[in-house]
Chains A and B, each alone.
Chain A
Amino acid sequence: MGNQNATSAVPAPRALLSHATRETLSNYVYLLPAAICLGGTVLFPILKAIHMSLYYNVLIKPQEYRFIGLGNYVRMVQDPTFWLTLRNSFTWVFWSVSLQFFFGFLVALILNGQFKGRAIFRTINLLPWIIPGVVVALIWEYIYQPNYGPLNDLLRRAGLMREPVAWLSNLNLVMPAVVFTNIWRGIPFFTIMILAGLQAIPEEIYEAATVDGAGVIQRFWSVTLPMLRPIIVVSTATRIIWTFNYADLIFVMTGGGPANATQITSTYTLMQAYSDLDWGYAASLSVILLVIMLTFTALYLKLTKGVESVAG
C-alpha cells in the first residue's frame, strides 16, 4: 500500500510561469487601466502632434495635404517671428515666475505669523487665483484701458499724468503690463505652497537653532530654506511649465500684439492653428515647446538635485 501510494503521488505539474513572474505580470495587469487612460489622453496626443508636424496640413488646402518630413521644422528655424516669440516667452516666464515666487514667499512668511484677521487675509490672498484666467484678463484689460480705464483715471486725479498712457499699446509698456497681471494672479499659488511647507517645519528645529545661537536670518537660511527646498523646486518647476504654456491671459489682453510685442510661442501656436489654420506648422511648434519644457525640467531637477528631502 505504501508502495502503491508512493507511485500514485504524482508531482504537481510545474506552473508555466514562476510565482515571481506571475506576480510581476499581475502587477502590470493592475496598472493596465491607468496605462490605457494615460496613453489615450497623454501619449496619443503627443504622438499625433509629432505625426501632424511632419505633414503640410493647412485646413483650407486639403488637396495639398502631404508628407513633408522636417519641412515644418526647417520653416520654423527660418521664421523670425518664431525666434521673437521664443525670446518673448523667456521674458514672460522669467519675470512672471521669479516675481510671483518672491512675493508669494513674502506673503507666506507674513501669513505664517500670528496676527489678528489672518483668516480673512488668507482668503483675500486666494482671490486672484480663484478667478478664471479669462476673467482676470478682461478685468485687467479694462483697468489698463487708456481712455476710460480706472488706472489712468486714478493717475490723472492724483496729478501724476497729463495725457493718457496706452499701457497695452505701447511697445515698452505692454510686456511689463501683462507680466504684472500674471504676477498678481500667480502670487497665491506660491503663497499656498510655501505656507504649507512652512507649517510642516517642526518648531523644535527652530528652537534648537535658537539655542545654538542662530539669529533670524541664520534660521531662515539654515533651517527654513533647506526644509522648503523640495516644495520650492516642485512649485517653481510646475509654475514655469504652466507659464510657458499659458496663453489665455495674453490672448485675451493683447492677442499677442501690438506688433507681436507680447506674442509668446504658445499664443503664436494658437494663431497658426486657428487663424492660418496651418495645423502642420502649429503641431511642429507645439512639439518644440514640449522638447524645450522636457529639457528644462530635466536640467532644472538635476541642478536643484530633484525633490529629495533635505534629510535624504
Chain B
Amino acid sequence: MVKDDAYYASRRQFLQTLAATGAIAAADLAWWEDPFLGPRRARAAASTVRFQFSVPEPLRISLVESLVERFNKAQSDVEVKVEFVPQAQARQKLITAVSAGSPPDCCQIWDNWVGEFDGMNALEDLTARIKEWKHYKDTVPVAWQTVTVKGKLLSFPWVVTNDAIFIRTDRAKEYGLKIPGPDWTWDDFLTLAKGYTKPDKNQYGFGMRGAGTWAVLYATEFLYSNGAQVLKDGKVVINSPESVQAFEWYIDLIRKHKITPPSVATDGYRQIVEGFGRGVTSMYLHNSGSVEEQKKFVGEPNFATLPLPLGPAKKRASFYFSETLTMFKAAKNKEGAWKFMTWLMDDEPNYDYAKTLGLLPTRQALADRPHYKHPGYQGFVRSFPFSIVSPYLAYAGWGGKLDSEGVPLVQQAMLGKISPKECLDKLAEVLTKNMA
C-alpha cells in the first residue's frame, strides 16, 4: 500500500509538473525569439525588427554590427536584430522564407534581386513613403531607377557602384607606357595591355573575369562600346552584328593577343582583385568596391581608375548596381523596419557605410564630400554620365539563367570551344526563352 501511495503521488506530481511546464512553455511562445523570460519582459516595450544582411565578410560584419548598435542606442522604440547569411545562400534563403511566409522585416539585397522578389509579390511597395522621405530629392535619379519595378519604388538604393578600369600607374612608368586620358579607345586599351604583358614574369595586361554572373556583364559592357544592346523594342538583340564584332574583339584579347592570365575562364571576383593586387595583372574592370582594398595592396599612389574605353561606335556604358534596403510585405514590424532603413540612409550612417566599403553614396550631398575626389574614384565619377542600369535587370527570370547558362557559354567562347557568334546566338536564345 505504501508503495502504491508513493506511486500515485509521484504520478500526480509528474502530471502537475508537466502541466506547469506546458503553461510556461505556452507563455514563452510569444517571445520565442529570446531565450529567457526575465530580460524579454524588461524589453517588451521595444518592438523588434529582424534585419537580414547577406555579405558576411569580416569588415562588413563589424560595420553592420556597429551601425545596428548605434541605432539601438539612439532610440528606445525599436530594437534591431541582425541576421548574417552567407551571400551564396542569401537569395535562396530569402526566397524560401518568403514562400514559407516568414521573411525578415527588412533586409539588404542586390538590386538584381528586386525584380525576382517583386515577381513573387513579396516586396512592400514603398513608393508613397519614399516620395515623402526627406532625402528623396537629394538621391540621384539613376539610383532610383535601379530599384524601380513596374513604376513601383521597392527599395532604398543604399549605396551604388558602377564599373571602371583599374590601372597600375607605377608599372606603366617602369615600362615606359603612356597612361591615356579618360576618353581612351579600344586601340589605346590594347596597346597598353600588350605593353604590360610579360608572360615570363607572370605579368598580364588585363585581368578579365570568367567566373560568376559578372563574366557576362563585363563582357556586355564592352559590347555596348560598339553600339550593341541587350534588348531593343522588347526583343533580345545581344547577337546583333555590332555585338558579335565587339565580342570577337573581346575574345581575341584572350585567344589572339594573350593579354589575360591563362586562368581567365575561372577567374572570379577574388582572382581579378588579387591578381591586380599581387602584380599578376596591370588592369582589370571592376566596381569601386575594390578601391580601398587596392590602396592597401598596391599602394595609394600606384594605381588610378579610368572609365571604360570608347569602342569603334564612339560609345560606352558602365552598369550601375546598387545595394539596397528593402521591406517585405509579410514583415511583422513595418514601422520599425521603416524607421531603421531611413536611419541607415541618413547622413552619417550612410556615409560611414559607403566610405568604409569603397562604394558610392546615392545621395548627392554625400557624394560631394572630399573623400570621393580621390583619383582612385575618378574613373567611377567620370563614368556617371554614361552609366546605365544593367540591361539584365529587365526580366526576373534572367537572374539565375545568367549564372547557370550564360556563364558556361561565355567560358566556352573564352576557351575556344565555340565561336563568339555561337556564344551570343545561344545566349540570345536563353534570354528570349526566359523573358518572363
Which residue, of B121, B200, B409, B415, has the highest number of chain A Cβ atoms within 10 A?
Answer: B415
Q: Does A302 contact B (CB under 8 A)?
A: no
Q: List residues of chain A with CB within 8 A of the CB of B280.
A: 147-148
Please, which residues of chain A bring their CB within 8 A of the CB of B99?
59, 62
Q: A147-B278, A163-B199, A166-B266 are in contact. Are A259 and B408 (CB under 8 A)?
A: yes
Question: How many angstroms between the C-alpha atoms of A259 and B396 in the bound complex?
Answer: 24
Given A60-B396, A62-B120, A276-B404, do A254 and B263 touch, yes or no (CB 8 Å)? no
Q: Report if A166-B262 is in contact (Cβ < 8 Å); known contacts: A59-B99, A148-B278.
A: yes
Contacts of B96 in A (CB 8 A): 59
Q: Which of B371-429 contact A (CB under 8 A)?
A: 396-397, 399-401, 403-404, 407-409, 411-412, 414-415, 417
The verdict on A164 contacting B116 (CB below 8 Å), with A147-B280, A258-B411, A258-B415 known, is: no
How far, in Å, is A267 (CB) from chain B's closest CB?
Answer: 11
Which listed residue (A61, A62, A163, A260) contacts B408, Cβ 8 A? Answer: A260
CB of A61 within 8 A of CB of B436, answer: yes
Residues of A within 8 A of B200 (CB): 162-163
Q: Is the CB of B412 within 8 A of A259?
A: yes
Contacts of A163 in B (CB 8 A): 199-200, 202, 262
Does chain B have a CB within 8 A of A193? no
Least CB separation from B413: chain A residue: A259
Chain B residues contacting A257 (CB-CB under 8 Å) are 211, 265-266, 407-408, 411
Interface of A is mostly: loop
Judge if A151 is at the interface, Cβ distance under 8 Å: no
Contacts of B408 in A (CB 8 A): 81, 256-260, 263
- Residues of chain B having any CB pair with chain A under 8 Å: 89, 92, 95-96, 99, 116, 119-121, 199-200, 202, 210-211, 261-267, 275, 278, 280, 396-397, 399-401, 403-404, 407-409, 411-412, 414-415, 417, 436
Contacts of A60 in B (CB 8 A): 95, 116, 119-120, 396-397, 399-400
Asked whether any CB of chain B lies closer than 8 Å to the CB of A277, the reply is yes
Question: In the complex, which residues of chain B have a beta carbon less than 8 angstroms from the beta carbon of A236?
Answer: none
Which residues of B have CB within 8 Å of A272?
404
A146 to B280, CA, bound (A): 10
Q: Is the CB of A166 within 8 A of B411?
A: no
Contacts of B403 in A (CB 8 A): 271, 275-276
- As a 0/1 sequence over residues 145 to 189 of chain A, the CB contacts with chain B under 8 angstroms (1 = contact) are 111100000000000001111101111000000000000000000
Specify the chain A residue showing the minimal Cβ separation from B400: A276
CB-CB < 8 A to A146: which residues of B? Answer: 261-263
Beyond contacts A60-B119, A170-B262, A254-B266: 7 other A-B pairs, Cβ-Cβ < 8 A, are A60-B95, A62-B120, A147-B275, A165-B262, A168-B266, A259-B414, A274-B92
Chain A to chain B contacts (Cβ below 8 Å), 23 pairs: A59-B96, A59-B120, A61-B436, A62-B99, A63-B121, A147-B280, A148-B280, A163-B202, A164-B262, A164-B263, A256-B408, A257-B411, A258-B265, A258-B411, A258-B415, A259-B414, A260-B408, A271-B404, A274-B92, A275-B403, A276-B400, A276-B401, A276-B404
Which residues does chain B contribute within 8 Å of A63, judged by CB atoms?
A: 121
Q: How far is the CB of B258 from chain A (nearest CB, A)?
A: 10
Query: How far is the CB of A135 from the nearest CB of chain B, in Å?
Result: 16
For chain A, give the interface size range: 35 or more
Q: How many Å from the CB of A189 to the closest CB on chain B?
A: 28
Give chain B's interface secondary structure class: helix
Residue A133 is within 8 A (CB to CB) of chain B in the complex = no
CB of A255 within 8 Å of the partner chain? yes
Taken together as a complex, chains A and B put the C-alpha atoms of A99 and B215 apart, in Å, by 35
Return the chain B residue nearest A61 by Cβ. Answer: B119
Query: Chain A residues near B116 (CB, 8 Å)?
Result: 60
* 4 nearest A-B residue pairs (beta carbon): A258-B265, A166-B263, A166-B262, A259-B411
Q: Is the CB of B266 within 8 A of A169?
A: yes
Residues from 268 to 285 in A contacting B, C-beta threshold 8 Å: 271-278
CA A276 to CA B213, docked complex, whole Å: 13
A contact residues vs B (CB 8 Å cutoff) = 59-63, 81, 145-148, 162-166, 168-171, 254-260, 263, 271-278
A254, B407: Cα distance in complex, Å: 13
In the assembled complex, the Cα of A87 lies from the Cα of B436 at a distance in Å of 32
Cα(A162)–Cα(B403), bound, Å: 34
A147 contacts B436, CB within 8 Å?
no
Min distance, Cβ A223 to any Cβ of chain B, angstroms: 49
Contacts known (A60-B119, A146-B263, A147-B278); A255 close to B400, Cβ less than 8 A = no
Residue of B nearest to A271 (CB): B404
Q: Are A169 and B95 in contact (CB under 8 A)?
A: no
In angstroms, Cα B24 to Cα A225, docked, is 64
Cβ–Cβ < 8 Å partners of A259 in chain B: 265, 408-409, 411-412, 414-415, 417
CB distance from B429 to the nearest CB of A (A): 13
| A256 vs B399: C-alpha distance when bound (angstroms) | 18
Set of chain A residues within 8 Å of B417, measured between Cβ atoms: 171, 259
| Distance, CA A164 to CA B411, complexed state (A) | 19
Closest to A263 in B: B408
Note all chain A residues with C-beta closer than 8 A to B397.
60-61
- Please give the distance in Å from A132's CB to the nearest CB on chain B: 16
A92: min CB distance to chain B, Å = 17
Task: Give CA–CA (A146, B397) in the complex, Å.
Answer: 35
- CB of A171 within 8 A of CB of B202, answer no
Shortest B236–chain A CB gap in Å is 18
Please state if B265 and A59 are interface contacts (CB–CB under 8 Å): no
- B434 CB to nearest A CB, Å: 9
**In the complex, A131 Cα to B99 Cα: how many Å?**
36
- Chain A residue, CB-CB nearest to B403: A275
B265 surroundings in chain A (CB, below 8 A): 166, 169, 257-259
Residue of A nearest to B279 (CB): A147
B415→A171 contact, CB < 8 A = yes
Bound state CA distance, A276 and B119, in angstroms?
14
CB of B404 within 8 A of CB of A275, answer yes
Q: Which residues of B contact A276 (CB under 8 A)?
A: 400-401, 403-404
B185 to chain A, nearest CB (A): 29
A166:B261 contact, CB within 8 angstroms: yes
List of A residues within 8 angstroms of B261 by Cβ: 146-147, 164, 166
Contacts of A62 in B (CB 8 A): 99, 120-121
- B400 to chain A: which residues have CB within 8 Å? 60, 275-278
The complex places the Cα of A263 from the Cα of B120 at a distance, in Å, of: 30
Name the B residues within 8 Å of A147 (CB-CB): 202, 261, 263, 275, 278, 280
B-side contacts of A254, CB under 8 Å:
266
Q: How far is the CA of A277 from the CA of B275 in the complex (A)?
A: 32
Give Cα A260 to B411, complex, Å: 9
Report the separation of the CA atoms of residues A60 and B119 in the bound assembly, to the nearest whole angstrom. Answer: 7
Q: How far is the CA of A254 from the CA of B265 in the complex (A)?
A: 10
Minimum CB–CB distance for B407 against chain A, Å:
7
Q: How far is the CA of A28 from the CA of B16 in the complex (A)?
A: 34
